[in-house]
Amino acid sequence: MPLVNIDNVHKYYGDNHVLKGIDLRIDAGEVVSIIGRSGSGKSTLLRCINGLETYSEGGIIVDQMEVTDDDSQIRKLSKSVGMVFQHFNLFPHLTVGQNITLAPKLVRKLSAEEAAETAREVLQKVGLQDKFDSFPGELSGGQQQRVAIARSLAMRPKVLLCDEITSALDPELVGEVLKVLETLATEGMTLILVTHEMNFARDIGDRVIFMHQGKVWESGEAKAVFANPQTPELQTFINAVL
Protein backbone atom coordinates (compact mmCIF):
# COMPACT_ATOMS: atom_id res chain seq x y z
CA MET A 1 0.00 0.00 0.00
CA PRO A 2 1.54 3.33 -1.02
CA LEU A 3 1.81 6.04 1.64
CA VAL A 4 -0.10 8.51 -0.52
CA ASN A 5 -2.70 7.21 -2.92
CA ILE A 6 -4.42 9.72 -5.19
CA ASP A 7 -7.14 8.18 -7.27
CA ASN A 8 -8.81 10.00 -10.16
CA VAL A 9 -9.08 13.33 -8.34
CA HIS A 10 -11.03 16.14 -9.95
CA LYS A 11 -11.47 19.66 -8.66
CA TYR A 12 -13.48 22.61 -9.89
CA TYR A 13 -13.37 26.26 -8.89
CA GLY A 14 -16.80 27.19 -10.13
CA ASP A 15 -16.68 26.39 -13.85
CA ASN A 16 -12.92 26.18 -13.83
CA HIS A 17 -11.79 22.55 -14.00
CA VAL A 18 -8.39 22.78 -12.25
CA LEU A 19 -7.62 19.11 -11.58
CA LYS A 20 -8.68 16.71 -14.31
CA GLY A 21 -8.39 13.21 -12.98
CA ILE A 22 -5.10 12.95 -11.13
CA ASP A 23 -3.75 9.46 -10.38
CA LEU A 24 -0.64 9.28 -8.26
CA ARG A 25 0.90 6.77 -5.88
CA ILE A 26 3.78 7.77 -3.66
CA ASP A 27 5.66 5.28 -1.51
CA ALA A 28 7.23 5.95 1.87
CA GLY A 29 10.70 7.43 1.50
CA GLU A 30 10.17 8.83 -1.97
CA VAL A 31 11.13 12.38 -2.87
CA VAL A 32 8.70 13.61 -5.50
CA SER A 33 8.91 17.00 -7.18
CA ILE A 34 5.86 18.46 -8.84
CA ILE A 35 6.80 20.97 -11.50
CA GLY A 36 4.85 22.98 -14.05
CA ARG A 37 3.70 26.45 -15.00
CA SER A 38 1.68 28.55 -12.59
CA GLY A 39 -1.97 27.66 -13.00
CA SER A 40 -1.21 24.05 -13.88
CA GLY A 41 -2.85 22.89 -10.65
CA LYS A 42 0.29 21.75 -8.83
CA SER A 43 -0.26 23.76 -5.63
CA THR A 44 -3.94 22.84 -5.59
CA LEU A 45 -3.05 19.17 -5.82
CA LEU A 46 -0.58 19.49 -2.96
CA ARG A 47 -3.16 21.27 -0.81
CA CYS A 48 -5.69 18.52 -1.50
CA ILE A 49 -3.35 15.94 0.04
CA ASN A 50 -3.83 17.25 3.57
CA GLY A 51 -7.37 18.57 3.28
CA LEU A 52 -6.58 22.29 2.94
CA GLU A 53 -8.51 22.15 -0.32
CA THR A 54 -11.48 19.92 -0.96
CA TYR A 55 -11.77 17.91 -4.15
CA SER A 56 -14.93 17.25 -6.13
CA GLU A 57 -14.43 13.67 -7.32
CA GLY A 58 -12.11 10.76 -6.71
CA GLY A 59 -10.30 9.85 -3.53
CA ILE A 60 -7.11 10.52 -1.62
CA ILE A 61 -5.80 8.14 1.01
CA VAL A 62 -2.77 9.05 3.09
CA ASP A 63 -1.31 6.64 5.61
CA GLN A 64 -4.52 4.58 5.40
CA MET A 65 -6.70 7.61 6.21
CA GLU A 66 -9.17 9.06 3.79
CA VAL A 67 -8.61 12.78 3.30
CA THR A 68 -11.74 14.82 4.02
CA ASP A 69 -12.21 18.34 5.32
CA ASP A 70 -13.90 16.99 8.42
CA ASP A 71 -12.40 18.59 11.55
CA SER A 72 -11.54 15.40 13.41
CA GLN A 73 -10.10 13.86 10.25
CA ILE A 74 -7.86 16.88 9.64
CA ARG A 75 -6.63 16.57 13.21
CA LYS A 76 -5.79 12.90 12.67
CA LEU A 77 -4.11 13.65 9.35
CA SER A 78 -1.92 16.30 10.94
CA LYS A 79 -0.03 13.53 12.73
CA SER A 80 0.92 11.96 9.39
CA VAL A 81 1.16 14.90 6.99
CA GLY A 82 3.19 18.03 7.60
CA MET A 83 3.18 21.12 5.41
CA VAL A 84 5.62 23.94 4.82
CA PHE A 85 4.45 27.09 3.04
CA GLN A 86 5.96 29.62 0.67
CA HIS A 87 5.51 32.42 3.21
CA PHE A 88 6.54 30.36 6.27
CA ASN A 89 3.33 31.21 8.18
CA LEU A 90 5.10 31.19 11.52
CA PHE A 91 3.10 32.59 14.43
CA PRO A 92 4.68 36.03 14.90
CA HIS A 93 3.48 36.51 18.48
CA LEU A 94 5.11 33.29 19.70
CA THR A 95 8.79 32.46 20.14
CA VAL A 96 10.43 29.83 17.98
CA GLY A 97 10.13 27.36 20.85
CA GLN A 98 6.44 28.14 21.34
CA ASN A 99 5.81 27.89 17.59
CA ILE A 100 7.20 24.38 17.62
CA THR A 101 5.79 23.06 20.90
CA LEU A 102 2.21 24.34 20.51
CA ALA A 103 0.79 21.61 18.29
CA PRO A 104 2.67 18.68 19.88
CA LYS A 105 1.22 19.75 23.23
CA LEU A 106 -2.33 20.32 21.98
CA VAL A 107 -2.64 17.61 19.36
CA ARG A 108 -0.14 14.94 20.33
CA LYS A 109 -0.76 15.59 24.03
CA LEU A 110 2.92 15.77 24.94
CA SER A 111 3.87 17.28 28.28
CA ALA A 112 5.63 20.66 28.24
CA GLU A 113 8.99 18.95 28.89
CA GLU A 114 8.52 16.34 26.18
CA ALA A 115 7.44 19.01 23.70
CA ALA A 116 10.43 21.22 24.56
CA GLU A 117 12.71 18.22 24.19
CA THR A 118 11.21 17.50 20.75
CA ALA A 119 11.58 21.17 19.80
CA ARG A 120 15.26 21.21 20.69
CA GLU A 121 15.81 18.05 18.71
CA VAL A 122 14.13 19.33 15.53
CA LEU A 123 15.82 22.72 15.86
CA GLN A 124 19.14 20.91 16.05
CA LYS A 125 18.21 19.13 12.85
CA VAL A 126 17.68 22.42 10.99
CA GLY A 127 20.75 23.94 12.65
CA LEU A 128 18.96 26.56 14.75
CA GLN A 129 19.24 25.19 18.27
CA ASP A 130 20.33 28.62 19.55
CA LYS A 131 17.11 30.32 18.35
CA PHE A 132 14.70 28.62 20.78
CA ASP A 133 13.75 31.89 22.49
CA SER A 134 13.89 34.20 19.46
CA PHE A 135 10.79 35.62 17.81
CA PRO A 136 10.25 34.89 14.11
CA GLY A 137 10.60 38.60 13.30
CA GLU A 138 14.19 38.50 14.53
CA LEU A 139 15.21 35.81 12.05
CA SER A 140 16.19 35.93 8.38
CA GLY A 141 13.83 34.46 5.80
CA GLY A 142 15.94 31.34 5.46
CA GLN A 143 16.01 30.85 9.21
CA GLN A 144 12.25 31.37 9.44
CA GLN A 145 11.66 28.73 6.81
CA ARG A 146 13.93 26.31 8.64
CA VAL A 147 11.93 26.95 11.81
CA ALA A 148 8.76 26.25 9.83
CA ILE A 149 10.24 22.93 8.71
CA ALA A 150 11.20 22.15 12.30
CA ARG A 151 7.66 23.01 13.43
CA SER A 152 6.26 20.48 10.96
CA LEU A 153 8.82 17.83 11.94
CA ALA A 154 7.87 18.13 15.61
CA MET A 155 4.55 16.49 14.73
CA ARG A 156 6.50 13.43 13.51
CA PRO A 157 4.84 13.36 10.09
CA LYS A 158 5.37 10.52 7.65
CA VAL A 159 5.23 12.83 4.66
CA LEU A 160 6.17 16.49 4.35
CA LEU A 161 4.42 18.66 1.76
CA CYS A 162 6.47 21.65 0.61
CA ASP A 163 4.64 24.36 -1.31
CA GLU A 164 7.27 26.45 -3.15
CA ILE A 165 9.14 26.85 0.08
CA THR A 166 12.11 28.69 -1.41
CA SER A 167 10.21 31.01 -3.75
CA ALA A 168 9.88 33.87 -1.25
CA LEU A 169 13.53 33.76 -0.19
CA ASP A 170 16.41 35.95 -1.25
CA PRO A 171 18.64 33.91 -3.59
CA GLU A 172 21.50 33.66 -1.10
CA LEU A 173 19.16 32.08 1.49
CA VAL A 174 17.77 29.34 -0.75
CA GLY A 175 20.75 27.05 -0.23
CA GLU A 176 20.40 26.65 3.53
CA VAL A 177 16.76 25.57 3.17
CA LEU A 178 17.49 23.11 0.37
CA LYS A 179 20.30 21.64 2.46
CA VAL A 180 17.81 20.86 5.23
CA LEU A 181 15.53 19.18 2.70
CA GLU A 182 18.44 17.18 1.38
CA THR A 183 19.25 15.94 4.88
CA LEU A 184 15.64 14.94 5.40
CA ALA A 185 15.64 13.10 2.07
CA THR A 186 18.74 11.11 2.98
CA GLU A 187 17.16 10.23 6.34
CA GLY A 188 14.29 8.66 4.45
CA MET A 189 11.57 11.29 4.92
CA THR A 190 8.88 11.21 2.26
CA LEU A 191 8.84 14.60 0.55
CA ILE A 192 6.36 15.97 -1.95
CA LEU A 193 7.53 19.31 -3.26
CA VAL A 194 5.98 21.84 -5.53
CA THR A 195 9.12 23.59 -6.62
CA HIS A 196 10.87 25.81 -9.12
CA GLU A 197 14.29 24.55 -8.00
CA MET A 198 14.95 22.36 -11.02
CA ASN A 199 18.46 21.42 -9.97
CA PHE A 200 17.17 20.18 -6.65
CA ALA A 201 14.35 18.25 -8.33
CA ARG A 202 16.83 16.60 -10.68
CA ASP A 203 19.68 15.89 -8.25
CA ILE A 204 17.89 15.04 -5.00
CA GLY A 205 14.43 14.02 -6.19
CA ASP A 206 13.55 10.42 -7.03
CA ARG A 207 10.66 11.25 -9.27
CA VAL A 208 9.38 14.27 -11.16
CA ILE A 209 5.75 14.96 -11.99
CA PHE A 210 5.17 17.53 -14.71
CA MET A 211 1.70 19.00 -14.50
CA HIS A 212 0.04 20.81 -17.35
CA GLN A 213 -3.56 22.02 -17.66
CA GLY A 214 -4.70 20.15 -14.57
CA LYS A 215 -3.26 16.81 -15.60
CA VAL A 216 -0.15 14.77 -14.89
CA TRP A 217 1.32 15.41 -18.31
CA GLU A 218 4.53 13.50 -17.87
CA SER A 219 6.27 11.77 -15.00
CA GLY A 220 9.20 9.54 -14.36
CA GLU A 221 12.57 9.08 -12.72
CA ALA A 222 13.93 12.55 -12.03
CA LYS A 223 17.15 12.54 -14.07
CA ALA A 224 15.51 10.81 -17.02
CA VAL A 225 12.65 13.28 -17.17
CA PHE A 226 15.02 16.23 -17.40
CA ALA A 227 17.44 14.51 -19.76
CA ASN A 228 14.84 13.15 -22.07
CA PRO A 229 11.45 14.91 -22.01
CA GLN A 230 8.82 13.06 -24.04
CA THR A 231 6.30 15.83 -24.67
CA PRO A 232 6.81 19.18 -26.42
CA GLU A 233 5.14 20.93 -23.42
CA LEU A 234 7.75 19.61 -20.97
CA GLN A 235 10.50 20.36 -23.50
CA THR A 236 9.34 23.98 -23.71
CA PHE A 237 9.01 24.23 -19.93
CA ILE A 238 12.49 22.87 -19.29
CA ASN A 239 14.01 25.18 -21.87
CA ALA A 240 12.27 28.13 -20.25
CA VAL A 241 13.36 27.43 -16.68
CA LEU A 242 16.82 25.88 -17.01
Partner 1 sequence: MSAFTDWDILRNLLLAARWTVALSLIAFAGGALVGLLLTFMQISGRVVLVQMTRLYVELFQGTPLLMQLFLVFFGISLFGIDVSPWTAAALALTLFSSAYLTEIWRGCIESIPKGQWEASRCLGLNYVEVMYHIILPQALRIAIAPTVGFSVQIVKGTALASIIGFVELTKAGTMLNNATFEPFKVFGFVALIYFLLCYPLSVASRMLERKLHASG
Q: Which residues sit at the interface with partner 1, rule CB under 8 A?
A: 50-52, 71, 74-79, 81-83, 85, 87, 89-93, 102-103, 106-107, 148, 151-152, 155
Q: How far apart are CA 19 and CA 76, in angstroms?
A: 25
Residue 147 · residue 139 · CB < 8 Å: yes
Residue placing its CB nearer to partner 1 in the complex, 77 or 180: 77
Measured from the CB of residue 100, what is the shortest distance to partner 1 in angstroms? 10
Residue placing its CB nearer to partner 1 in the complex, 26 or 77: 77
Residue placing its CB nearer to partner 1 in the complex, 25 or 93: 93
Measured from the CB of residue 48, what is the shortest distance to partner 1 in angstroms? 13
Residue 68 · residue 76 · CB < 8 Å: no
Q: How far apart are CA 139 and CA 86, in angstroms?
A: 16
Residue placing its CB nearer to partner 1 in the complex, 137 or 232: 137
Which of 168, 198, 189 has the alpha carbon at shortest distance from 35?
A: 198
Measured from the CB of residue 234, what is the shortest distance to partner 1 in angstroms? 30
Measured from the CB of residue 91, what is the shortest distance to partner 1 in angstroms? 6
Residue placing its CB nearer to partner 1 in the complex, 38 or 72: 72
Q: How far apart are CA 208 and CA 224, in angstroms?
A: 9
Residue 3 · residue 190 · CB < 8 Å: yes
Residue placing its CB nearer to partner 1 in the complex, 76 or 179: 76
Rounded to the nearest 10°, the torsion over CA 25, 103, 56, 233 is -50
Measured from the CB of residue 93, what is the shortest distance to partner 1 in angstroms? 5
Measured from the CB of residue 116, what is the shortest distance to partner 1 in angstroms? 17
Q: Phi and psi dihedrals of 124, rounded to 5?
A: -55, -45
Q: Where are the alpha helices (DSSP H) in the chain?
A: 42-49, 71-77, 96-106, 112-125, 141-153, 171-186, 198-203, 222-227, 232-241
Burial of residue 187 (CB within 10 Å: 0-12, 13-18, 19+) is exposed
